[in-house]
Structure 1
Amino acid sequence: MTTHAPARSRVRPSRSTGPQGQWAVDGTTPLNDNERVKAEDNGLNVRERIEKVYALEGFDSIPTEDLHGRFRWWGLYTQRRPGIDGGRTAQLEPHELEDRYFMLRVRSDGAELTPTMLRVLGDISTDLARGTADISDRQNIQYHWVRIEDVPEIWRRLEAVGLETTTACGDTPRGFLGSPVAGVAADEIIDPTPVIAEIKRRFVGDPDLANLPRKFKSAITGHPSLDVVHEINDVSLVGVVHPELGPGYDLWVGGALSTAPRLAERLGVFVSEERAAEVWHGVIRIFRDYGYRRLRTKARLKFLLAEWGTERFREVLETEYLGYRLPDGPAPAAPTAPGDHVGVHRQKDGRFYVGAAPTVGRVGGSTLRGLADLVERVGARSVRLTAFQKLVVLGVPAERVEELVEALEPLGLTARPSLFRRSTMACTGIEFCKLAIVDTKDTAAHAVSELERRLADVEPLLEHPITLNVNGCPNSCARIQTADIGLKGQIVTVDGQQVPGFQVHLGGGLASVDRDGEPGLGRTVRGLKVPAQDLPGYVERVVRRYAATRRPGEAFASWAHRAEEEDLT
């Protein structure tokens, strides 16, 4: 099997003949208010105002165009005000939903987090974020309850150890997904660390790339597990071996989910390590210059790719932006191991890396500090975050592996998780997110505990984890369309009463050892909506039907696409 994108992607190309705000076609005159705000002042410039004005004068001194726009260029969003139920999310304006506190996103870009870095992250959580810290599925750390007065101090602490929030949000190159086992895995094809470092050094914080049509997500891996969900990024470089040119990268473009999901497509080119940074730069400049800006709902790269197709995209990249042709190249092979790296694995140097799962990504200051102490105590090297809200401890001496595994448990981390502890993800949800309709983190954590108990007899019969992704709104931050069981938050009616619940997507998945055939998007069952309080019961029911009626070796996703609707309700 090769990992070509399937035909189930849902984006349709735009056929409008009017101006779409493409700089290279229509000029740079702003066609909407959002573009006007970006044109008037580069979002990177807001940092000086935060440090010299807003942090000193307080929340009320912040004008709306900075607060609701440019702050994102430095990883800051206002968080949701407590006590506003999900039924009012779409009824209220942003200023009515927001609190006077911020979510702050710290990018890791696949980097190793040393014990010193982990302690800094933990201390920021404890001292300045009420103990909060979540691992996102973009390998970020996200804090909540951050005051504007404390932001300069947080930046000072982060930058002292080489971490940053630069363009962690906004219409910018967001944080990179990198292989958590880069440079250490015994079966690695190519180490992407130098490429990520070069791109960051040259281009992150570049004012010329700080006004994109919308966000731009990147992923780079050289591991055969395909551990960076490359099919749903705007640009991905995936490790392959060219039969004549040796190790390098296969280039994918145009993936993204949200309300119009589309899986990325291969351009069919081979990218050497030496050219990887400039190829990445070419793709992002295509997006900057040709991306649609008139409507934000059409402003992702996936819409341009749907209009152009891969042949034209490749031609424009090579002729207008690179000035040379790229050689044709092979597709990556199907993965032979899970990309979350949970468990104990031997490194190429004889040491081990150990992947561990928190519950739905939640860690917190005490966990991060405890992890730093543990890494030092066992003589390990560092920690990386994963694209699955997990973490991996690198460089563990063979004789200390069991000590590490046992000591992770009191920290709320486990290297031997249950099926659903391992495979459940959740976005921020209504607790802090202004877009959310339902609770996600606590709902998912409760479901994990219940399913561990209810399905204890079934779990030993299942060969692979069943992914359960819980999202608080339609925007798919938790990748609901690519999960075995994806849950989209909405208000549902039960016995005439409106209650929090979910629309169900079944049978999605990306390139994975757990799937039969090609990656694809999940199916929905007409009228199937599950109240949040009934979630564990619904998942138990469907998993038991799968276990009872699957074909030998059949993955859940394949079963879900062929099953009758009554078996899925």
Structure 2
Amino acid sequence: MTIETTDAAPRAPRAERPARDIRTPRPSAKPNGQWKVDGTAPLNANEEWKQADGGLSVRERIETIYADGGFASIDPTDLHGRFRWWGLYTQRKPGIDGGRTATLEPHELEDEYFMLRVRIDGGQLTTEQLRVIGGISTEFGRDTADLTDRQNVQLHWIRVEDVPEIWRRLEAVGLGTTEACGDVPRVILGSPVAGIAADELIDPTPQIDEITSRFIGDESLANLPRKFKSAITGHPSQDVVHEINDVAFVAVEHPTLGVGYDLWVGGGLSTAPRLAERLGVFVAPALVADVWHGVAQIFRDYGYRRLRNKARLKFLLADWGVERFRSVLETEYLGAALPDGPAAPTPTTPGDHVGVHRQKDGRYYVGATPIVGRVSGPTLTKLADLVEAHGSTRLRTTPHQKVVILDIPETQVESLIAGLDELGLQARPSLIRRGTIACTGIEFCKLAIVETKAYATAAVLELEERLDAFDLPHPIALHVNGCPNSCARIQTADIGLKGQLVTIDGEQVPGYQVHLGGGLASQDRDEAGLGRTVRGLKVTADGIADYVERVVTRFLDERDADAGETFTQWAHRADEEALR
């Protein structure tokens, strides 16, 4: 591969770039399982089965053996490992309380049904595809459907006997579940308004399409240390939560090279949150797929494999530092230097795209929100019908559990909004409904300790009544998670709730630890950052509305309105008493 640089924008001499020492990895008494350092001999059981028979191979067994033999016929290693490569996880058996999550074995927690994740790169859907997903949910998934904060749709109650037929229907309309889960490149987040927004810098769709066509399902990337999350946006709102992805490309205009992308690497949350860092390079659109591939290969070859809790790219970046990571990318994987590039400007608008917005072709797109991403098969089918009745066949899912309908004529906008309201999808939601997301929770997830969707929904409905008269300056990002793993991004919310059991009057009840004052660029924050915790600050699961009302009221009383102080800014300067 050859990367061309120009005299107009040479890479700055090393002395002129910000001083960053190339760090030496921390010494370890044991090998970390880095293939290019320690060799490829597997150091744990998970790495053993991945090398013995890769995750992609299980599809044939699902279609020819397990679909006929049923759940009891599934090999345990396939069930708890390789099935994930095809978007399948066993769901939680009903009736097991959160206190037993960490004490039971997987086979004791799991039901004989699956969560199925439909992969939707860039969130791009047609009404035909949406209708197929809705039909699958209705026929095979007991009407379940959730819009996720990774732009996917998740279904539940799926039987292994039905999976081949589900694949047939999805693939007939250009969808699938390949590498929707597992130690692989997961779905690529893309701007929900790609190609249609009037203020877009560049349409990232060609870059997303090139990456997915070249590398998704590629055996050479099907055994990574752990999951690998990607994001690409060409919109100035930076609407793909790029700071918490392993690799992300954010549109930027270079003073001499034109519009391209700013490269970020090493983000991720869970129990050891870390925001991604800029490598300081400019990536031309034609090079995005190759640069993405280079970063993915660094993770494959140098990522830590011995311990699963250290097997994310963020840990490698923390040890190496930006300068060394850039050097390895350029010298070992690209074969040439990338030009230095500027940072993208701070967004001035939120990136959830809720509401009515004019497209560059004069038509409109309409962003609508369900409550905490929960929809249903019949709702999705009716939504497809509604969109077509208003002259469109295109819509998008978002990284904020929302849906965006494209290409609506101006004369049809209000009629569409009325129809969306009837489906529980509000284009003019309250600021608390707009800002609230929740993970799957204990209803289906084997890792969860606390329920999320139901408690968050009840809180939203209650807060809409309590806060109706309040003049909120912006949506309040309330993120509710059922365990410490942060699928709902609790550390980057105004108010993040981490599920755990809390003790009230000597009795353990479902509740949450509170994180306050986090935020990302796509939430219209001045600077991305992680929230703070207050020692001992916890709320019960049925006390969410009381706590949110209390802390938001305090914020409104104390904020510097003249300076436009946000909840994030206030939460980081407020004393602990004000946050309780």
TM-score (norm 2): 0.95
- Which structure 2 residue ranges, 5 or more long, are not aligned? 1-23
CA distance in 1, matches of 2:209, 2:544: 42
Q: Which one of 470, 479, 482 corresponds to residue 472 of structure 1?
A: 482
Paired residue secondary structure (1:110): helix
**In the alignment, what sits opposite 1:4?**
none
The answer to whether 1:550 aligns with 2:559 is yes
| 2:236 partner letter | P
**In the alignment, what sits opposite 1:539?**
548
The answer to whether 1:64 aligns with 2:73 is no
**In the alignment, what sits opposite 1:226?**
238
C-alpha contact 1:464 1:514 (8 A) present in aligned 2: no
C-alpha contact 1:110 1:139 (8 A) present in aligned 2: yes
Q: Deviations over 1:460-501 (max 9, x none)?
A: x12211100000000000000000000000000101111000
**In the alignment, what sits opposite 2:507?**
497
The answer to whether 1:173 aligns with 2:173 is no
Alignment of 1:5-404 (within 5 A): 14-404=26-416
CA distance in 2, matches of 1:13, 1:444: 42
Paired residue secondary structure (1:143): strand
CA distance in 1, matches of 2:498, 2:38: 37
CA distance in 1, matches of 2:236, 2:167: 35
**In the alignment, what sits opposite 1:530?**
539
Decide whether aligned partners of structure 1 residues 367 and 160 sit closer, same or farther in structure 2, where only a CA change above 3 A counts: same
CA distance in 1, matches of 2:573, 2:315: 30
Paired residue secondary structure (2:521): coil
User: How far off its partner does 1:18 sit?
Assistant: 2.5
C-alpha contact 1:514 1:555 (8 A) present in aligned 2: no
User: How far off its partner does 1:112 sit?
Assistant: 2.6
- Which structure 1 residue ranges, 5 or more long, are not aligned? 1-11
Instruction: State the number of aligned residues.
Output: 555
CA distance in 1, matches of 2:223, 2:383: 38
User: How far off its partner does 1:381 sit?
Assistant: 3.4
C-alpha contact 1:132 1:365 (8 A) present in aligned 2: yes
CA distance in 2, matches of 1:408, 1:82: 32
User: How far off its partner does 1:513 sit?
Assistant: 5.7
Q: Deviations over 1:162-198 (max 9, x none)?
A: 0010000000000010000000000001100000000
CA distance in 2, matches of 1:513, 1:497: 37
| 1:380 partner letter | S
CA distance in 1, matches of 2:119, 2:376: 16
CA distance in 2, matches of 1:489, 1:53: 38
Alignment of 1:428-439 (within 5 A): 428-439=440-451
Mean CA deviation greater in 528-537 or 70-79: 528-537
User: How far off its partner does 1:15 sit?
Assistant: 4.0
Q: Deviations over 1:147-176 (max 9, x none)?
A: 000000110000000001000000000001
Mean CA deviation greater in 104-113 or 465-474: 104-113
Q: Which one of 405, 410, 414 corresponds to residue 422 of structure 2?
A: 410
Paired residue secondary structure (2:144): coil
CA distance in 1, matches of 2:220, 2:68: 30
Paired residue secondary structure (2:343): coil
Paired residue secondary structure (1:84): coil
Paired residue secondary structure (2:60): helix
User: How far off its partner does 1:111 sit?
Assistant: 4.4
CA distance in 1, matches of 2:47, 2:225: 8
Paired residue secondary structure (1:363): strand
C-alpha contact 1:135 1:390 (8 A) present in aligned 2: yes
Paired residue secondary structure (1:260): coil
User: How far off its partner does 1:21 sit?
Assistant: 0.2
User: How far off its partner does 1:292 sit?
Assistant: 0.2
Paired residue secondary structure (2:479): strand
CA distance in 2, matches of 1:315, 1:506: 36
Q: Which one of 512, 517, 521 corresponds to residue 530 of structure 2?
A: 521
C-alpha contact 1:385 1:392 (8 A) present in aligned 2: yes
User: How far off its partner does 1:418 sit?
Assistant: 0.5
CA distance in 1, matches of 2:252, 2:149: 24
| 1:171 partner letter | D
CA distance in 1, matches of 2:303, 2:555: 43
| 1:308 partner letter | W
User: How far off its partner does 1:110 sit?
Assistant: 1.2
C-alpha contact 1:13 1:306 (8 A) present in aligned 2: no
| 1:50 partner letter | I
Mean CA deviation greater in 316-325 or 104-113: 104-113
CA distance in 2, matches of 1:508, 1:214: 25
C-alpha contact 2:123 2:152 (8 A) present in aligned 1: no
Aligned residues with identical type, % of pairs: 72
Paired residue secondary structure (1:430): coil
CA distance in 1, matches of 2:527, 2:191: 21
**In the alignment, what sits opposite 2:6?**
none
CA distance in 1, matches of 2:191, 2:479: 21
User: How far off its partner does 1:514 sit?
Assistant: 3.7
Which stretches of structure 1, 4 residues or longer, exceed 2 Å deviation after superposition? Answer: 12-15, 512-515
CA distance in 1, matches of 2:436, 2:397: 16
CA distance in 2, matches of 1:110, 1:405: 24
Q: Cα RMSD over matched residues?
A: 1.0
| 1:554 partner letter | E
CA distance in 2, matches of 1:18, 1:78: 33
C-alpha contact 2:347 2:524 (8 A) present in aligned 1: no
Q: Deviations over 1:126-162 (max 9, x none)?
A: 0000000100000000000000000001100000000
